[in-house]
Structure 1
Amino acid sequence: MKTIALYDEDAFAKDFTAKVISCDEVIIDDQKLYKVVLDKSLFFPEQGGQTSDIGRLDDHQVVDVQIEGDTVYHYCKGGFLIGEEVHGVIDWNHRFSNMQQHTGEHIFTGLAHNEYGAENVGFHLSDNTVTLDLNIELSEDMVENIERKANEIIAADVAIKAYYPKQELLGAIAYRSKKEIDGPVRLVEIEGVDLCACCAPHVKSTGQVGILKVVSYEKYKGGTRIYILCGLRALDDYNRRMKLLAKAYRTLSCKEDEVPDKITSLMDEGKQLKYEINEIKSGILMNQIDSYPSDVSDITIFSENLDAKIMRDGVNALVEKHDGLCCIFSGNDDDGYNFVIGSRTRDCAAIAAGMRELLGAKGGGSKQMAQGSVNATRNEIERTM
């Protein structure tokens, strides 16, 4: 049965009354829901890269809406009698946010097409993320240019209209579409900016988008993936970032425009301190190595917080003096150990393989030296070695 799509007629309607055509109990992700078909619906189903509307039918929450053919299915937390009349209310904040994002995407991709010949090959709108994929690589200047012009169009409050042109006229209309469409084609037009096939609800004019902000972008499958936020979502994201920035400059005791230099300075200081600490650790380890009599064949050292280079240097120093198996383990019984083993006379690769088999160690190496990690206690390691 074809569901009358009220969302197609009025994107700003918030509630409606409809008759229940069918209601079936279903289990989805171990949750009992009711799959409800109505004769008409204001709930926009998931399609066109956009997640569905949510809301309520009478007192029951609508958590998802899908479309199969021409039939819209509402997944509800409660059921209804066939023939029963129900009152539906969509979550308006959710709907309006989605409309802001989707119209913003049309503005951006329309401009990308007009300015640089880019084609939109992908779009995803969820409750957390808005991405659009273009088939060409955009530079930073190109992205900033599109973003600036998009916000100028938003400020100009250009009217937006959605309509179904007559089928016989469709071939003469130049519109964007990510795929071939069978049957009637719904066009969303932003005059002078974009004309695109689209099934989703949109705002009435570009001014209702509020603002469009490019959050980030990246190379993707030979083109560019753009992350955007519009309207109230952009405001929420801006406020979140400003709070993080304010916390950063208060913590660093500097002005906000000094934060990058302050962080760079702290990172440089940290690198220098790490170098100095490692020099001290290396010196302590080498003193320990020098204290072992040269006639002792096998040497195993347990320590903490040694980096891989210090451990390798230490094993090399041990191998020069001792002809048996030389091992350094860094870590503790709770978190496990990193290790480096070396020898002039023993096969270290074979020993590492034995540790993998007996202790579940990871890693490997050559006959002369091997390294890796093992989640075992010191006693277990000593018994195995």
Structure 2
Amino acid sequence: MSEQRIVVIGTGYVGLTTGACLASLGHWVVCVDIDATKIDQLRAGRVPILEPGLADLVLEGQATGRLEFTVDGDLAVTGAEFLFLCLPTPMGDDGGADLHATESTVTRIRHALPVGCVVVNKSTVPVGTSVRVTGLLDRPDVAVASNPEFLREGSAVTDFLRPDRIVVGADVPEVGKRVAGLYSRLSAPILVTDAASAELVKYVANCFLAMKLSFVNAVADLCERFDADVDQVLDAVGRDPRIGRAYLRPGPGWGGSCLPKDSEAMLRMAETVGFSFPLLRATVDMNVQQRERVVTKLAAAFGGSLDGARIGLLGLTFKAGTNDLRGSPALAVAELLVARGAELLACDPTVAGGTEVDGITVVDDPYQVAESAEALVLLTDWPQFRALDWVRMAKFLGGTVVLDTRNQLDVETLGSAGLVCHGIGRRSES
């Protein structure tokens, strides 16, 4: 397909990555956001998202004139051949996806869309959203398609430009082919389906990953009870090609901006068609239990009570490589620690010292965290923490307990520094 004129509404992780990457593929792209401050920052080449390669694509796109930013969505869409909706779909009060942003946007701009435009749902939306958007548009001359994103924070640009698959869903096959043509320069399988199937794909993928993570954390708990080593168990299991090694690492629970809300939305969708989905419900419940297990494990290592204990936290973001705190299991564990009476100080490479996050005081220096703490908990697998001078950390720390919820730290290194490193699912003698 030749170069197309595309409007992307929303400049969050999905929208900004989508816009910048589509521009890099040779299309003409206008990104729209209601946040004027953010638009001014982007026009100046300042990208507020920590995402490798994204800032370079934004600068490159603007330099070539293929990427623009504006707050005037009504004007921008008048020339659009494709309109990508990259809007937030947060968890609603009932656990389902809140489509207010999508629906209000469609209602506002529907009369401005040119004849023949294709509206593309890029955000993760419930099954039936394409039908819902079609009804809100009330424009037989404007088509609707679903094109779910599969972008991981920290590798979003790579995931977009080198995807393992591209899914496009439309109830009119020709519309699906038009959207698929936007990706003709990418060498990846393009799967064109009906709209409902495409909408379901993203939920199924995320819920399966969540299930895998909950299963691994349960296995880690089992390993501790049998005095087995979870790292060795999962290394052997992951060599089975039917299972694979991806997502076979225990941790403090899964989180982020997608998995928690998508799991709840999937449960809600299942209820609407009379399916209880007990496996997914157990997946979500086990994730809550994992956070509680982490706190219980720390309390046991600390002597039973955390009341008044000064605990240092290493890492706050939901995973390394991103500055995103949304749905972070680190913050969920921190909340439980506070409920047990602990006093918290934290360090994260992407959170500036002096900031307060959910009542936690943040400092820039991990050694300062150790100096103020009686025990440490590693919650995010930033490589910087593995490379710390643990002899120096031990001199500052007011105790010997280190709980490594990511099994990232070298037990022998910490042991030689006089510290006792407790992992997740590791043998007691370790």
TM range (shorter): under 0.3
**What is the TM-score normalised by the length of structure 2?**
0.20
Q: Tell me which of the two structures has the higher relative contact order, counting C-alpha pairs closer than 8 angstroms and 6 or more residues apart.
A: 2
Richer in strand (by share): 1
More helix by share: 2
Which has more radius of gyration?
A: 1
